[in-house]
Amino acid sequence: MISATEITPKDLPDWMRLARRDVDWGLLLVIAISLLAGWPFITQPTLPHTNASENYVYTTADFAAAFREGQLYPRWSPNVFGGYGAPIPNFYPPGATYAAALLQVLFTDDAVLAVRLVYILSFCLAGSAAYVLVARRAGASAGVLAAFLYLYSPYLMLTAPHILGDLPAVVGMALLTILLWSADRLLLRDHPADMLFAALAAAGLFLTDVRIGLAGALLTLALLPDGRKKAVFRVFASIVLGAGMAACYWLPALLEQNAVSWQPPRLLVAYQLTLPELLTPASQIDPNEMTPLPQLRLGLPLVLLALPGAAAVVRYKLAFQAAFLATGAALILAALAFFPLEIGLLGPITLCLSIGASAALRLRDELPLRRRRLLLPILLIAAWILAAPVWLLPYSNEPFGSADAPTQIQYEQLGYGIPVLPAHLPVPATISAALQPNRSLIEGYLSGAMNKIALASTSDAQVRVGILEHRTHSDRFQVSTSGLVTLNVLTAYFPGWQATLNGRPVSVWPASDTGLLNVSIPPVREGNLVVAFGSTPEREAAWVIAWATLAITLIITWGRFRRHKITYDDVEQLSRPEARLLALVFGCFIIITPLAALPNPLLPLRLQPGHGMDGAIPASIRTDGGLSLLSYRVRQAVVHPGGSLDLTLYWAAQRFLPENYSVLLYLLNTSDGTRWNEVPLHYPGSYPTRRWNTSRYASDHYHLPLDPAMPFGDYRIVLEVYDCSPDCRPQNRLNFFDPAGRILGPVLSLPLPITVRD
């Protein structure tokens, strides 16, 4: 009798195993839930004006205009500082808005739609890369769970895209997972293209968000214990090569930072990572709230699954998930102890814990065989229900409007800030702080009749100047002069600005009193003057490094392909029965989410509008400017010197507010009248009041660290509201009125006493 032996898949030749390989249903399901995570960007036709997405739309529009003019790497923002311009793209990573601008030029012809597409693609890339990374090491089922936990975390799905509007952070989190996936492939499979993939992912990270790029380089350490020595070296080499390819950004930004003066950001709110906040469950956004507070939280599903994940790591000695759990815990400790203001670390922390928590699925080995397939659907359903505050987002269809140059100029003139830069970032400027906007230049932007030459800049010689063309990085003039003359161009000077007259270079230098461009023009009858933003030795060196690094990477990849032997990439996939079960679960998610998230939901799962003020102390204080204090919330009325006071004011506009009002807040000692913890004048809710919607309210949050020398006693929270146009003078304060209409004067003292004691 001939004995039959069982032939396992590993015993088959590579070509036969490849032929037997089925469709990766797990990947398709993850892409489906990734699209569901981007549902608001798919269904809502606009982007809000209340977060930084607006600024990235304006940057995208500027980049797209520069691309159409032949500028493949824009370094100049032409529509800021009243049209004088500033080198903002030279100092901030351009990756996210660069990708959006490419989409606008090639496909959408709409900056808003392009930014929405980048958000959607980022969700798909983040989920897919997290899945394939974990599936290779821990199986397809664990990959689906890790991708779901990552996508439906409060930071990636709610805080970064919808509350902060942080497009670079969302793109960076997608690139981070791609970097780890490619580094893992390089360690385990070492395909010739893997080193190229890892280098390109690292370059994309450094061009998008340098801090996430550095975090990604550190996170690759969690993958190294299982790698061979040569592969470990190649991972580090890939990251170095990626940094070299990104030198076109970071090297000029580093070398030219002394050529600008850094103006402080308009928004001085410092969000902070704390352990209680990290462990707090996510909460629904109130649709009536204009500027919700960022939810810097891990999310209840992730916190609950991290514990059984840790147990499974110990029980089954799962080195891969153990490394990421340990890395996530180390990042939490480092963030809380040394970098509490670096809220972007919450993204890498969430990714690490999502991978580590996926080990909880291994506990199904303790269940009877027939019930094992049920654990993953049960976990996903529970996580989806617990993550409801993350995906139950308010619906908005308010039109965004235009993103063109006149709109950006008007944005700045209305006091809203720098159009292409989020309010919490410092501004690189090269003009004098005392330089006022030029009325003629602003009117030229708004009317389309541009005038970039100051009338007072000419000498006694007869001069005629007319603008022929205005572009993002250059201006062309027709010049006629009877003698040597210096023209003052209404453009901020920065190294790289050059001028040619009829093709010949002429002198360019900054005006000592304003920082604007001065151009020396010799006598000429009919001259064609071109003032253009060009290169510098630093930028040319950066491009040499970037292109040389890319060439080295391609040569290395070509050499690796020549020596490569075809191998089979054996990655566990979902079985068809498990895939069908998960398809049923995700199908329910896809059906229920629109029913609960559309403007008129068929499933009323959202809390009532206005729930964000539940539990606050009513105030109903009006002002003669149309601004009202609805209520306020104080977390603790008894504090200690050296401690802190947390306060939230809820403001609303009774009518359209014609000015951007500013609030001054301080603590007043009732015994001696001294002021403590004075908060400088700022927009209430960190949002200009001229933009307020009369049907919504603004939350104004304060975290006041108290002076250790603060005397014991009773204090009052005191408010003053200023009309700062043109100056924030005491006589420009608004008067307060109580609910009965009695005037309270320009100083409002909240009735709740604050007691400071030992």
Strand 675-682 relative to strand 736-737, pairing: unpaired
**What is the predicted pLDDT for the residue at 748?**
96
Dump the DSSP string for 4-22. P----GGGS-HHHHHHH--
pTM reported for the whole predicted model: 0.94
- Report the chain's C-alpha Rg in angstroms: 29
477 - beta bridge partners?
467, 529
Provide the residue count of the chain: 758
Would the CATH topology of 430-534 be identical to that of 611-756? yes
pLDDT at 435: 92
- Are the beta carbons of 37 and 157 closer than 8 angstroms? yes
Q: What is the mean pLDDT of residues 191-203?
A: 93
Buried b (16+ CB within 10 A) or exposed e, 223-234: beeebeeebbeb
SS (H, E, C) 694-718: CCCEEEEEEEEECCCCCCCEEEEEE
Question: d(Cα 56, Cα 518) in Å, to the nearest integer?
Answer: 31
Banded model confidence at residue 2, pLDDT cuts 50, 70, 90: very low
Determine the pLDDT at residue 688: 94
Name every residue whose Cβ is closer than 8 Å to that of residue 641 and which is 6 or more positions away in sequence: 706, 707, 708, 709, 710, 712, 756, 758
Asked if pLDDT for residue 385 goes beyond 70, the answer is: yes
Instruction: Starting at the earlier edge strand, list the strands of the sheet with 516-521.
Output: 485-492, 516-521, 508-510
Mapping DSSP to helix (H, G, I), strand (E, B) and coil, where does residue 597 land?
helix
> For the chain, which residues make up each domain, given as ranges?
26-258+272-287+299-395+542-596, 430-534, 611-756
DSSP 8-class letter at 654: S
pLDDT tens, position by position, 550-578:
999 999 999 988 876 666 566 778 888 89
Taking only the tens place, the pLDDT of each residue in 595-608 is 877 777 667 778 88
Residue carrying structure tokens 């809390």? 607
Amino acid at 739: P
Q: Give me the architecture of the 611-756 domain, per CATH.
A: Sandwich (2.60)
Region 415-439: mean pLDDT is 93
- pLDDT at residue 227 greater than cutoff 80: no
Mean of pLDDT values over 426-433: 94
144-189: pLDDT as tens digits:
999 999 999 999 999 999 999 999 999 999 999 999 999 999 888 8
pLDDT for the residue 228: 63
The overall average pLDDT reported for the chain is 91
Signed CA dihedral, 13, 19, 21, 24: sign only: positive
Q: How many CB atoms lie within 10 A of CB 732?
A: 17
Q: In whole angstroms, what is the distance from residue 687 CA to residue 50 CA?
A: 7
Fold of 430-534: Immunoglobulin-like (2.60.40)
**Type of residue numbered 70:** G
Segment 45-55 shows an average pLDDT of 94
Residue 457: is its pLDDT beyond 80? no
pLDDT digits (tens, 9 = 90+) for 252-285: 999 999 999 999 888 766 789 999 999 999 999 9
Coil vs helix vs strand at 157: helix
pLDDT of residue 594: 82
Quick one: pLDDT at residue 373? 87
| Cα(148)–Cα(140) distance, integer angstroms | 12
- Measuring CA to CA, which residue among 320, 348, 321 is closest to residue 334? 348
Whether 19 has a pLDDT exceeding 80, the answer reads no
Amino acid 188: pLDDT: 86
Residue 600 CB-density burial (10 A; 0-12 exposed, 13-18 middle, 19+ buried): exposed
> What's the pLDDT at 329?
96
H helical segments located in 624-681 = none
Please report which confidence band the pLDDT of residue 456 belongs to, taking 50, 70 and 90 as the band edges: very low
Cα dihedral 165, 167, 171, 176 in deg (nearest 10): -70
Q: What angle do CA 5, 8, 9 make, to 5 degrees?
A: 150
Q: Which of 87, 93, 496, 405 is nearest to 263 (CA)?
A: 87
Q: List the one residue out of 425, 174, 163, 168 whose CA is nearest residue 297.
A: 163
The three-point CA angle 11-13-18 to 5° equals 110
